[in-house]
């Protein structure tokens, strides 16, 4: 029997490289697409350099003959992607890619969703089977709409379909304006690190663990939505406090310096029974994950 | 001030030609797109022959400079469109068209939805503002998803957006396998006309009235979803009985000859307060509308 094969769009990205590494390690024949990255013979996967928004992308992807498609690529520019019109292009491209993949013989499609697809007004951990979706931001609406269409199309066309809803990510090489790198950067510079009161319940998962969780989902037989997170919830204030403790700079912490935005959900955390059913175990807890980011950021600072 | 301009995709079609005629009659500069129809100098509109699924269609459409876009075109092959994978292509094309239209200066986008977007388990007339959507069929899912994305995109980009949810259509030149032409054809041939028990409440609107209603919505300032139907509800059995009465062939009617499908909603009828607020008045009641179809079908039969 030949090796199972997987095509990973955005496979050179923040999460994708971890999905690729995990599946390659599990014996998959891995092909990653990247808009920019050139093939890299040092990696245990092949790279297909292509523009996924181009008209010929669906047929290029289908021609790889991959059995499984993990579709990570999407507009993700921090500060822009929530309401970017590029979300429309990514919905369009994703539907075209999914159809071409299926009609080319593809068996299993793993789409990537987001916790902001959910109704975020509740206070309890959200179950992916019973938790209703009620997105209010274009990015979440576009993702939920894509999921709804592909779930129906998959049922019609006999394709396995699963949808990995990722909660709050952090990790090395994150955009510097996001919470974790912003707090770390300020403290490494000896500057005050300002946050909101940060009492909101959240679930922060290290990108490497998110990648490994998505890989576990991709290699499983699960269908439908699956939450991607860690087994311990936290708050934004706890994240900032932990960073300060690791760096030994608690005096720089200014929790509550920014007002809490009215639209910030009080709680946005997942139930993880489905992920747990796969035996998935995160590699990082919050302390070791933040330490990993700090190590990476220190290494990136010129001496 | 220059004449207002409207671009109508599918403007040569079953509903579209009526939208085009109505808006041309109201002084609009009308451009219709058609995949097949050639320009027709006898009509008070221009025809843009193009394939809306082609990669260059969005820019071709945007280049018309139309102020309003009425987007009727979609996969509509009877017996196929509910679950056709072409629904994915039409979602993709619609999003690309909407974005190019807006970025080219378009002001108002009128999308066409369907009554099967709604939760169809209730028995009361459905309000488009409070009635939840819960589509179960790919066509309805694709339409509802497109609406959700475009409504959010429109809010972001400052575009007027409205979504005309059409109830049950009938009219001349309808696909022969649909209820009205099937019953008429059988009776004109002197054959038995079989239907289900047909007790389901429905709202049948003549295509010319649907076109005029959509034109009224397009020329208004309404935004958000608007139901398109007539002010009198009926049942499938009443439609068949009325056809038999008009044709004087009640003895050919076999109501209840087919079982009622379990998935047929007991009621699927609209509240029409928003359409009524525009002063819209249907041209046909059910009897005169069915008589119109019969007249058209008799004219089409070789002597």
N- to C-terminal Cα distance for chain B? 52
Do B152 and A141 lie within an 8 Å CB cutoff?
Answer: yes
Measured between CA atoms, the residue of chain B closest to residue A83 is B156
- A39 pLDDT above the threshold of 80: no
Q: How many residue pairs bridge chain A and chain B with CB atoms within 8 Å of each other?
A: 80
Phi, psi (5° rounding) for residue B131?
A: -70, 120
Measured between CA atoms, the residue of chain A closest to residue B102 is A85
- Which residues in A lie closer than 8 A to residue B137 (C-beta atoms)? 152
Dist. CA A93–CA B89, nearest whole Å: 10
CA A196 to chain B, closest CA, distance in angstroms equals 26
Do A138 and B153 lie within an 8 Å CB cutoff?
Answer: yes
Please write the tens of the pLDDT for every residue from A233-280.
999 999 999 999 999 999 999 999 999 888 889 999 999 999 999 999
Phi, psi (5° rounding) for residue A211?
A: -65, -45
CA A132 to chain B, closest CA, distance in angstroms equals 11
Please write the tens of the pLDDT for every residue from A185-199.
999 999 999 999 999
What pLDDT shows up at residue B300? 78
Average pLDDT of B250-272?
Answer: 94
- A1 pLDDT above the threshold of 60: no
What pLDDT shows up at residue A159? 98
Phi, psi (5° rounding) for residue A188?
A: -65, -30
Measured between CA atoms, the residue of chain B closest to residue A136 is B152
Span B5-168+205-231+273-277 CATH architecture:
3-Layer(aba) Sandwich (3.40)
| Those residues with Cβ within 8 angstroms of residue B299's Cβ, 6 or more apart along the chain or in another chain | none
Cα distances from A82 to residues A77, A266, B71, in angstroms, run 9, 19, 26
B22-57 burial, b if ≥16 CB within 10 A, otherwise e?
bbbeeebbbbbbbeebeeeeebebbbbeeebeeeeb
Dist. CA B150–CA B187, nearest whole Å: 44
- Which residues in A lie closer than 8 A to residue B96 (C-beta atoms)? 88-89, 92
Preferred mutation among B90, B152, B155 to probe A, highest tally of A CBs within 10 A? B152
3-state secondary structure chain A: CCCCEEEEECCCCCCHHHHHHHHHHCCCEEEEEECCCCCCCCCCCEEEECCCCCCCHHHHHHCCCCCEEEECCCCCCCCCCCCCCHHHHHHHHHHHHHHHHHHCCCCEEEEEEEHHHECCCCCCCECCCCCCECCCCHHHHHHHHHHHHHHHHHHHHCCEEEEEEECEEECCCCCCCCHHHHHHHHHHCCCCEEECCCCCEECEEEHHHHHHHHHHHHCCCCCEEEEECCCCCEEHHHHHHHHHHHHCCHHHEEECCCCCCCCCCCEECECCHHHHHCCCCCCCCHHHHHHHHHHHHHHCCCC
- B301 pLDDT above the threshold of 90: no
Do A138 and B148 lie within an 8 Å CB cutoff?
Answer: no
Task: Check if the beta carbon of residue B10 is closer than 8 Å to that of residue B61.
Answer: no
What pLDDT shows up at residue A302? 59
- B1 pLDDT above the threshold of 70: no
Q: What percent of chain B has pLDDT over 70?
A: 99
Average pLDDT of B186-193?
Answer: 96
Query: DSSP letter string over chain B?
Result: -PPPEEEEETTTSTTHHHHHHHHHHTT-EEEEEESSPPP-TTSSSEEEE--TTSTTHHHHHHTT--SEEEE------TTTTTT-THHHHHHHHHHHHHHHHHHTT--EEEEEEEGGGB-----SPBPTTTSPB---SHHHHHHHHHHHHHHHHHHHHT-EEEEEEE-EEE-TT--TTSHHHHHHHHHHTT--EEE-----EE-EEEHHHHHHHHHHHHTS---EEEEE--SS-EEHHHHHHHHHHHHT-GGGEEETSSPPPTTS-SEE-B--HHHHHTT---S--HHHHHHHHHHHHHHTS--
Q: What percent of chain A has pLDDT over 70?
A: 99
Minimal Cβ distance to B91: which of A89, A141, A149: A149
Tally of CA atoms within 13 A in the half-sphere of B47 that contains its CB: 19
- Which residues in A lie closer than 8 A to residue B93 (C-beta atoms)? 92
Domain over B170-202+233-270+281-299 is classified CATH 3.90.25.10: yes
Please write the tens of the pLDDT for every residue from B31-83.
999 888 777 788 899 999 999 999 999 999 999 999 999 999 999 887 889 99
Minimal Cβ distance to A88: which of B87, B99, B138: B99
What pLDDT shows up at residue B41? 82
Measured between CA atoms, the residue of chain A closest to residue B88 is A95
- B303 pLDDT above the threshold of 70: no
What pLDDT shows up at residue B263? 85
Report residue A52's pLDDT band, with 50, 70 and 90 as the boundaries: very high
Closest CA to B96 of B65, B62, B122: B62
- A30 pLDDT above the threshold of 70: yes
Do A148 and B146 lie within an 8 Å CB cutoff?
Answer: no
- Nearest-10 Cα torsion for B163, B164, B167, B173: -130
Measured between CA atoms, the residue of chain A closest to residue B132 is A134
CA B54 to chain A, closest CA, distance in angstroms equals 9
- Which residues in B lie closer than 8 A to residue A55 (C-beta atoms)? 55
Preferred mutation among B106, B142, B149 to probe A, highest tally of A CBs within 10 A? B149
Closest CA to A235 of A272, A204, A279: A204
Interface of B with A (CB under 8 A): 55, 83, 85, 87-89, 91-93, 95-96, 98-99, 102-103, 137-138, 141-142, 144-146, 148-149, 152-153, 156-157
Minimal Cβ distance to A149: which of B102, B142, B157: B142
Minimal Cβ distance to A149: which of B88, B99, B153: B88
Please write the tens of the pLDDT for every residue from B94-119.
999 999 999 999 999 999 999 999 99
Cα distances from A28 to residues A9, A44, A151, A161, A213, in angstroms, run 15, 10, 25, 19, 16
- Which residues in B lie closer than 8 A to residue A137 (C-beta atoms)? 152
Do A141 and B149 lie within an 8 Å CB cutoff?
Answer: yes
- Residue B264 CB: number of other CB atoms within 10 A? 16
Phi, psi (5° rounding) for residue B255?
A: -70, 130
Do B91 and A91 lie within an 8 Å CB cutoff?
Answer: yes
Minimal Cβ distance to A92: which of B87, B96, B156: B96
Please write the tens of the pLDDT for every residue from A154-165.
999 999 999 999
- A229 pLDDT above the threshold of 70: yes
Report residue A175's pLDDT band, with 50, 70 and 90 as the boundaries: confident
- Which residues in B lie closer than 8 A to residue A92 (C-beta atoms)? 91-93, 95-96
The topology (CATH level 3) of A171-202+233-269+281-299 is UDP-galactose 4-epimerase; domain 1 (3.90.25)
Which value does ipTM take for this structure? Answer: 0.93
The larger pLDDT score, comparing residue B42 to residue A226, is at A226
Q: Where are the domains of chain A?
A: 5-169+206-231+273-277, 171-202+233-269+281-299
- B208 pLDDT above the threshold of 70: yes
- A36 pLDDT above the threshold of 60: yes
Tokens (6 digits) for B117: 């977007």
CA A148 to chain B, closest CA, distance in angstroms equals 7
Interface of A with B (CB under 8 A): 55, 83, 85, 87-89, 91-93, 95-96, 98-99, 103, 137-138, 141-142, 144-146, 148-149, 152-153, 156-157
What pLDDT shows up at residue B37? 74
Closest CA to B280 of B207, B205, B216, B233: B216
Preferred mutation among B81, B88, B136 to probe A, highest tally of A CBs within 10 A? B88
Measured between CA atoms, the residue of chain B closest to residue A103 is B85
Tally of CA atoms within 13 A in the half-sphere of B140 that contains its CB: 15
Query: What is the average pLDDT score of chain B?
Result: 94
Do B83 and A144 lie within an 8 Å CB cutoff?
Answer: no
Preferred mutation among B92, B138, B153 to probe A, highest tally of A CBs within 10 A? B92
Tokens (6 digits) for A12: 């050179």
Phi, psi (5° rounding) for residue B241?
A: -65, -40
Looking at domain A5-169+206-231+273-277, its CATH class is alpha beta
The strand order across the sheet containing A46-49 reads: A46-49, A29-34, A5-9, A68-71, A108-114, A160-166, A224-228
Average pLDDT of B184-198?
Answer: 95
- Residue B300 CB: number of other CB atoms within 10 A? 9
Average pLDDT of B129-136?
Answer: 94
What pLDDT shows up at residue A98? 98
Please write the tens of the pLDDT for every residue from B15-31.
999 999 999 999 999 99
CA B63 to chain A, closest CA, distance in angstroms equals 19
- Which residues in B lie closer than 8 A to residue A156 (C-beta atoms)? 83, 85, 138
Closest CA to A223 of A107, A103, A139: A107
Average pLDDT of A123-146?
Answer: 96
What pLDDT shows up at residue A119? 95
């Amino acid at each position: 029997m030949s090796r199972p094969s997987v095509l990973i769009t955005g496979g050179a990205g923040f999460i994708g490289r971890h999905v690729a590494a995990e599946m390659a390690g599990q014996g998959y024949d891995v092909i990653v697409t990247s808009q920019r990255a050139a093939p890299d013979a040092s990696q245990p996967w092949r790279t297909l350099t292509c523009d996924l928004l181009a008209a010929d992308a669906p047929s290029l992807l289908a021609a790889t003959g991959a059995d499984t498609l993990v579709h990570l690529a999407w507009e993700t520019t921090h500060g822009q992607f929530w309401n970017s019109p590029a979300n429309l292009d990514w919905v369009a491209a994703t539907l075209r890619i999914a159809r071409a993949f299926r009609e080319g013989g593809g068996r299993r499609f793993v789409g990537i969703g987001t916790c902001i697809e959910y109704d975020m007004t509740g206070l309890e951990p959200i179950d992916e089977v019973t938790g209703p979706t009620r997105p209010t931001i274009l990015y979440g609406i576009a993702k939920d709409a894509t999921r709804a269409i592909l779930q129906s199309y998959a049922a019609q066309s006999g394709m396995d379909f699963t949808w990995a809803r990722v909660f709050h990510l952090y990790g090395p090489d994150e955009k510097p304006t996001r919470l974790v790198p912003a707090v770390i950067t300020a403290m490494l510079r000896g500057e005050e690190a300002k946050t909101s009161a940060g009492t909101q319940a959240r679930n922060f998962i290290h990108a490497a663990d998110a990648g490994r969780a998505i890989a576990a989902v991709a290699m499983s037989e699960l269908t439908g939505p699956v939450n991607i997170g860690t087994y311990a919830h936290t708050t934004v204030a706890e994240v900032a406090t932990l960073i300060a403790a690791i760096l030994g700079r608690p005096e720089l912490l200014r929790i509550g310096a920014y007002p809490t935005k009215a639209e910030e959900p009080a709680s946005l955390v997942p139930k993880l029974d489905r992920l747990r059913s796969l035996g998935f175990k995160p590699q990082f807890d919050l302390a070791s994950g933040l330490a990993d980011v700090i190590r990476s950021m220190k290494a990136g600072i010129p001496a």
